[in-house]
Structure 1
Amino acid sequence: MTLQRVYLVAGELSGDILGAGLMRELKAHHPNVEFRGIGGPRMQAEGMESRFPLETLAVMGLVEVLKHLPELIRVRRTLKAEALAWQPDIMLGIDAPDFNLGLERQLRKAGITTAHYVSPSVWAWRQGRVKGIAKSVDGMLTLLPFEAAFYRDHRVPVAFVGHPLADEMPLENDRIATRQALEMSLDSQVLALLPGSRANEIRFLGDTFLAAANQLCQRHPALQVVIPAATADRHQEISALLANYPLLAERTRLLDGQAREAMVASDVVLLASGTAALEAMLCHRTMLVAYKMAPMTHWLAKRMVKTQWVSLPNLIAQETLVPELIQDAASPEAIAEQLSAMLADETSRHALEARFAEMHATLQRNASRRAAEAVSLLVAGQPLESVDGH
């Protein structure tokens, strides 16, 4: 079946990247396909006729959403009317679930095939949302295998397409060459320290991480530390905190960005939970995940989150491969103790690096191509099982 019209709605930069890859693959098999909806510069370069700027949907936080709600309602109403008038073969929401799932449900009720690319964290909290998702989409495209298993359990058609980061990052990396590029010693052990990219994360984790690394430097006199600062503001904040730890400051390279290089160069990584943990896994590096948040946020999270783990490597493996120290457990002493044990156990580190390389390979599936296959199957009215072998 030939695709002629695809309606895509992306909500942020990561969605624009996913959308552009999907569009490229769809055009390879359907040269005359047209695209409309919302996309950023990458999607527009692939032929998207974008009705609103990409940033329109990138609203974070309850207060901000409420402030922009009238505009968001107007945008959704406009997109719905245009999609119904254009009659695409399929409408695909890319992330932005709070906006897209509602639009998908409205269009599906009107008889248009719909799908959603990138699962919301429904497996972790507010699992009852899966009932609404089942009414909104003909198919869910997930980046991670445990997400697909959740949807299968709830009888929602799903395809695990793989993770674009896994496609982007090589299955082999060179620790020595990376250290040379960063002008670091080849003989000493290296700790990569990633306290987070947001100001709040530095506020809650910065001192804890640096205090732990300082203790580690006392235990391991030859240890080198590398800290990639996500932004200029984070660089300034970390520099100010480092001034309180003269020993650590002597041993530390503070980088502008280059998080992947820092992780590849390291023997062990200390990081905040989030996408960084997935990247560390894809760099095949032993890690410790530690996280702190405001006490009220932690109190709520403990009651709402339904998963045994918070870090993606553990969730993907469905077992504890990575130690997780959360809130009060994330003391400098506890972190230093765990990291010291990791640095001392070379055999376990190498075994975990090999396991992470295997997990990387399972995620490296050419996500854009598989997503395009899933879209074509949905439009043809065929089941999604053949996309991921289930």
Structure 2
Amino acid sequence: MVAGEASGDLLAGLLLAGVRQRWQGAIAHGIGGPQMAKQGFRAWWPHHKLAVHGFSWELLRRYREIVGIRAALGDRLLAAKPDVFIGVDAPDFNLDLEARLKAQGVKTVHFVCPSIWAWRPERVEKLRRSTDHVLCIFPFEPELLASHGIAATYVGHPLANVIPMEPDRAAARRGLGLSDTDEVVAILPGSRQSEIRHLAFRFFRAAALIQSARPAIKFIVPAVPGLLPEIEAIALRSGMAGRLQLLTGQSHTALAACDVTLIASGTATLEAALFKRPMVIGYHMSWLSWQIMCRKRLQPWVGLPNILCRDFVVPELLQDAATPEALAASVLQWLDAARQEPAKIAVLESTFRALHTELLRDTASLATDAIEKVLQS
């Protein structure tokens, strides 16, 4: 298995729990993180080695290292062929590896359909060459893949099984030392170092503006453990040191506890939707990455909640629009709505509840059923 960043590690950890239940003697190894390790996964390389942001200088700088890891991993897997290889997201890394393994007779499964319906549709041809089966987390994807001759199974979204339909906000707040009457904003500036460098300062300056309007407000910032020192340094530079409650991990607790979240585009936005929380989605990347993404983009939405709902149910502030002033104003609009227009919040919660229901399936059983069929083919 290979998972390339925090969100992939979380998905892979949930899948591995189902694998362990069905095949108790299964041995899993490759590239992964702490959630996979909890399921007995043996990481030959840590997952953060693959985490890069956009078409950036960082990607060019680390290209040789990442390609070297992929070549070494492929050699190691072909020397002692596994029963199946499961690439979890990270398509830029995994699809080429899967193609190499498949050509040598290794069964390959890709978990999470690349977003060919949102951008980079040319990936569909590579996906067909690379994988024997795709495990899809959104219900419309298998039909789309079938039209291109790719076998796929909708397994639901694993997070829909982990996050309760009705999150316990009071318990989450007690765990973080917050009161029921506090106004709380959760700030999630991303799980990759490059995202932190592009977004954290903007988000923290937005927090300063929000606090000017609402002095009693509380901010909680869950952070990937290895990125905490950098986040602390950015908090100091932004003038928000000592005014943010920094957490090691605990993103789900933060989302359960908050009234609104200011959040980087990515899987975390879907988690926020499953927690039924109002959000403001922000994102910023290098100029080159932005230009490339815009040319390959197929839909007007970037945030997963908006893509799945086919509407701008929550605001997206991207690139030049993601100024601290604009981000702060959008968060304050949600906070004002909570006080003055509770029906607006109720409509959003109802929308997210319906989305949660649609994504709720017995993911572990459906996924392992599909994997077993691949093994028997």
In 2, the alpha carbon distance for the partners of 1:12 and 1:199 equals 13
Structure 2 residue ranges without an equivalent (≥5): 53-58
Amino acid at match of 1:183: G
Corresponding position of 1:377: 373
8 Å Cα contact 2:119/2:296 also seen in 1: yes
* Structure 2 residue 173 is matched with structure 1 residue 179: yes
The residue that corresponds to 1:365 in the other structure is: 361
TM-score by length of 2: 0.80
Is this contact kept in 2: 1:11–1:57, CA < 8 A? no
1:304 aligns with 2:280: no
Structure whose alpha-carbon radius of gyration is higher: 1
* 2:31/2:46 contact within 8 Å kept: no
Match of 1:387 in 2: none
Kindly tell me the number of residue pairs found equivalent between the two proteins: 359
Matched, 1:317 2:345: no
CA distance in 2, matches of 1:209, 1:99: 30
**What does residue 286 of structure 1 align with?**
278
Say whether the 8 Å CA contact 2:13–2:39 is kept in structure 1.
no
**Alpha-carbon distance, 1:240 to partner:** 0.3
| Deviation, structure 1 residue 134 | 1.5
Q: C-alpha offsets along residues 346-369 of structure 1, whole Å, 9 cap, x if unaligned? A: 221122123222222322323221
Pairing 1:348–2:348 present: no
> How far apart, in 1, do the equivalents of 2:176 and 2:248 lie?
12
Q: State the distance in 1 between where 2:343 and 2:118 align.
A: 33
1:70-125 Cα offsets, whole Å, 9 max, x none, are 56335424533543xx8x4x554444544543454455456665432233344343
Distance change (3 Å), C-alpha of 1:344 and 1:308: same
Q: Contact (CA 8 Å) 1:57, 1:72: kept in 2 or not? A: no
Correspondent of 1:66 among 64, 67, 79: 64
| Mapped partners of 2:47, 2:334: distance in 1 | 45
The one-letter code matched in structure 1 to 2:348 is: L
Cα deviation, 1:286-315, whole Å, max 9, x if unaligned, reads 101011222222222212233322111112
TM score, norm. by length of structure 1: 0.78
Moved more, 127-136 or 218-227: 218-227
Match of 1:80 in 2: 78
Structure 1 pair 292–177 and aligned structure 2 pair: CA distance change class (3 A): same
1:202-239 Cα shifts (integer Å, max 9, x gaps): 43333332332333333335433333343431442243
Q: CA RMSD in A?
A: 3.4
Aligned sequence identity (%): 34
Structure 2 vs 1, CA of residues 319 and 108 (structure 1 numbering), >3 Å: closer, same or farther?
A: same
Query: Following TM superposition, by how much is the alpha carbon of 1:267 offset from its aligned partner in structure 2, in angstroms?
Result: 1.3
Equivalent residue, structure 2, for 1:5:
none
Out of 156, 162, 168, which is 1:162 matched to?
A: 156
Quick one: distance in 1 between partners of 2:200 and 2:98?
Answer: 41
Distance in 1 (CA, whole Å) between partners of 2:260 and 2:49 is 34
**CA 1:367 to 1:234, structure 2 compared with 1: closer, same or farther past 3 Å?**
farther
Q: Is 2:128 the counterpart of 1:130?
A: no
Q: Distance in 2 between matches of 1:180 and 1:47?
A: 32
The answer to whether 1:118 aligns with 2:112 is yes
- List runs of 5+ in structure 1 lacking aligned partners: 1-8, 382-390
Q: Deviations over 1:229-277 (max 9, x none)?
A: 43431442243035x359xx66x43434332222212111111112221
Q: 2:229 aligns with which of 211, 216, 233?
A: 233
Does 2:336 align with 1:338? Answer: no
* Contact 1:10–1:54 (Cα < 8 Å) also in 2: no
Q: 1:212 to 1:19 in 2, by over 3 A?
A: closer
Query: Contact conserved, 2:15 with 2:367, CA < 8 A, in 1?
Result: no
Residue matched to 1:53: 44
CA distance in structure 1 between the partners assigned to 2:80 and 2:249 by the alignment: 41
1:130 deviates by 0.8
CA–CA distance in structure 1, aligned partners of residues 72 and 260 of structure 2 = 49
Q: Name the stretch that deviates more: 187-196 or 285-294.
A: 187-196
Equivalent residues of 2:204, 2:235 under 8 A apart: no
Check the 8 A contact 1:145/1:316 in 2, yes or no. no
Matched, 1:265 2:257: yes
CA contact (8 A) 1:140 1:157 kept: yes
Distance 2:35 2:211 in 1: 44
Match in the other structure for 2:55: none
Kindly tell me: are residues 80 and 307 of structure 1, through their superposed partners in 2, closer, same or farther at Cα, counting changes over 3 Å?
A: farther
Could you tell me which of 142, 153, 159 is aligned with 2:136?
A: 142
Q: Matched residues in 2 for 1:80 and 1:115: separation?
A: 16
Q: Distance in 2 between matches of 1:372 and 1:362?
A: 20
Query: How far, CA to CA, are the matches of 1:57 and 1:37 in structure 2?
Result: 16
